[in-house]
A and B are shown apart, each in its own frame.
Chain A
Amino acid sequence: MQATSPDPTDSETALEPTSTLSEQASKELLAPFGVPFLPERDVTDADAAVSAGDEMGYPVVAKLNGDAIAHKTERGLVKLNITDSESLRAAATELLAAATPDDGDVSVLIAPMVKSNREFICGMSTDPQFGPTILVGIGGILAEAIADVSIRLAPLSSSDAHEMLGELQMSDLLNEFRGEPAVDRDAMASLLVALSAAADANGEIRSIDLNPVLIVDGKPVSVDALVEVADSTDGGAA
């Protein structure tokens, strides 16, 4: 008997202990489902960072990577638009020095610097009442303040995903914008369906943040990823 009552209590999921995966581990987990990421290199010292940057070509981005590092931008652990070897060496050295003992094992991710005028947030989270949900919204550092988002429950159909895109208040951002081509809506919808598939396949996932998802030549590409999983110590029932 499922009774309904006017005073819902917090369900178990809200109190369940969770932990976050590093950016790199998050990307490795999501990429097989079809979430588009940039090619990047994971290095542990400044020399390796420089050779990665030289190979990749400048400008690049350097980010500190580690399991316990959830919100890099807030901590200043993202160095953008690095234009040469010398600057990259300085940036990598600075990032490694900024790690605290709480951060555990860390490394530096080197990725090509891509430019985009449009930033979206795509993600998944677990609602105590409705279970896994998929979200798309206007992204970037102002994502939470703007709060222009659309949500559906997983599993998500492609038609659901297209509806979500049409529902954004700023859905005009999906059209041609400041000389950039219109966003490939099918590719954006596929990205959302990929998040749903990942959550469906892996019952340990509690939330996923892709923020920002940039639009490069009309295609979405995620330049960050944060996956939160249930702590496996207590079995992590889905």
Chain B
Amino acid sequence: MPTSPADHPELFDALFNPRGIVVAGASTHPGKFGFVSLHNVLASGYQGKVFATNRDGAEVLGIQSVASIDELPEGEIDLVFVCTPAAANIELLKACGRKGIKAAFLTSAGYGEAGEEGIRAQEELIAVADELGILLAGPNGQGVVSTPANLCAQIVAPFPPKGKIGVASQSGNFVSSFLNWSRQTGVGISRAVSAGNAAAVTVPDYLEYYAGDENTAVGLAYVEGIQDGRNFYDRMREITPRKPMVVVKGGATAGGARAAASHTGSLASDDRVFDGAMRQAGVVRADTVESAFEIAASFATQPLPTGNKVIVMTTAGGWGVVTADAITSSELELMSLPPDLEAAVNEKLPPRWSRNNPVDLAGGETRDTIPEVLEMIASHEEVDAVVYLGLGIQSNQARMMREGSFYPDHGLERIVAYHERQDERFAQAAAEISAATGKPIMTATELATADPDNAGPAAVRASGRLCYGSSNRAVTALEAMWRYRRFLERQS
């Protein structure tokens, strides 16, 4: 059973860092998976050798294919990406074994998802791969992405930017969703794989590999229909002390209909049991797929908070009030402003500022106030994390000026450039101060999605961090990080 990364790390390396790849079943038709996957491998800049098989030995995308694996060189290929029909795959795997291929990703359908005959075919596939010592990924999967290897072996787009999130999903669609968000937010991916039918390699196997992978900081998984919950729990419990794992589960609302002799039994619905088991195992369970991505992105780009005391810094009142509400109803603490910090901030602002948490600058800031006050807050020993609101206001006005009929006259060109420079500075300061203090600083503004080209959110992206679309979403992510921190403390 070559499925555990602990027992067979070389097989997982063959999947995620192959020296060479062969696309089996390459097609000359640009609409077919056998074409698309070869295209995506070549287009993503993969540096290893690329081979292809095609029944007719046709040339595809400049690659001279061969009719059979047997014609390929031995010892140069680690991964076979299979687009051939199920009926052809047993012989294909055997031929791969003879060439020293260590991992196979099967996109082919017609297995466990396809009735009794398919289940039998899948069992045979598992047995043959087992005997050959080939790692079997899929079947019926969408593909594998590995940015350190510039590898996009997928039957669909996209290829995400490089980063530290490792994705494993029981649904290929959600691999695409996570990768699309990665592209939109700029928070990158290390590895991503669709488990397909997970005939041999399951989601926890991939997550275990990520836990030991120096390119990955956090695991992000979509699961549904877990068959052996206790095993899933045991595996996750082993993994989470090493790295944070974020899980979102489909089919969460089923259950509760179980006939139970006890009140306890009827209260212990499937979803509540899953929720409790994940908390116990130190897994961060997200409510939605979007939230799962944002929490993973936070683990990947922000320092882990060492406490739960948060200060909100805002340039305007209402945002701060709503953020304070969100913090108060979470496990985070809206700390009161320490007197020495209040005195220090007071030196920088006219008297109308809030003198409280949220620190509402109330429009009293001059050129350097935001970076200076942010640094004072984050550097204070009692503060564990900061939520920063109001980025992008100046650039929003700059956009209106640039698009209006008076531009560039009347001094508009100069002020527009100044506004945008300022927002860039603020975003950079947030990232730099966070890195210097080792504390999370979450920047939140709806401009992240409403106007992603605004210089503020654009500069947050350039800093490698996530610009949260609302303060509530930032608070949700920060709370998840705090929970994980507490889990780690309980372990030690």
A interface with B by C-beta (< 8 Å): 1-8, 14, 18, 20, 70, 121, 123-127, 129-131, 133, 135, 137, 143-144, 147, 149-153, 159-160, 163-164, 167, 206-209, 211, 226, 228
Contact = CB atoms under 8 A, between A and B. Distances in A.
20 contacts: A2-B231, A4-B195, A4-B225, A5-B112, A8-B226, A121-B263, A121-B267, A123-B263, A123-B265, A125-B265, A125-B268, A129-B228, A129-B273, A143-B267, A144-B266, A151-B273, A163-B490, A167-B279, A209-B264, A211-B263
Interface centre among A20, A133, A159, A208 (most CB of B within 10 A): A133
A167 B280 CA distance: 12
A130 B275 CA distance: 11
Contact of A147 (B200, B226, B267): B267
Contacts of A3: 112, 122, 197-199, 202, 227
B263 A5 contact: no
B280 A7 contact: no
A41 B122 CA distance: 62
Nearest to B268: A125
Interface in B224-248: 224-231, 233
B76 interface: no
B224 A6 contact: yes
Contacts of A167: 279
Contacts of B316: none
A126 B280 CA distance: 17
A153 B264 contact: no
Interface of B: 1, 3, 112-113, 122, 126, 170, 195, 197-200, 202-203, 223-231, 233, 251, 258, 260-268, 270, 272-277, 279-280, 490
B264 A129 contact: no
B233 A153 contact: yes
Contacts of A228: 261-262, 265
A121 B227 contact: no
Contacts, number: 137
A137 B267 contact: yes
Nearest to A195: B264
A2 B233 contact: no
Contacts of B224: 6
B480 to A, nearest CB: 15
A219 to B, nearest CB: 21
B36 to A, nearest CB: 25
B312 to A, nearest CB: 24
A226 B276 CA distance: 23
Contacts of B272: 149, 151
A8 B227 contact: yes
A123 B233 CA distance: 21
B227 A208 contact: no
B118 to A, nearest CB: 11
Lowest 4 A-B CB distances belong to which pairs?
A123-B264, A129-B229, A151-B276, A130-B229
A20 B265 CA distance: 13
Contacts of A149: 267-268, 272
A158 to B, nearest CB: 11
A4 B203 contact: yes
A6 B264 contact: no
A167 B258 CA distance: 24
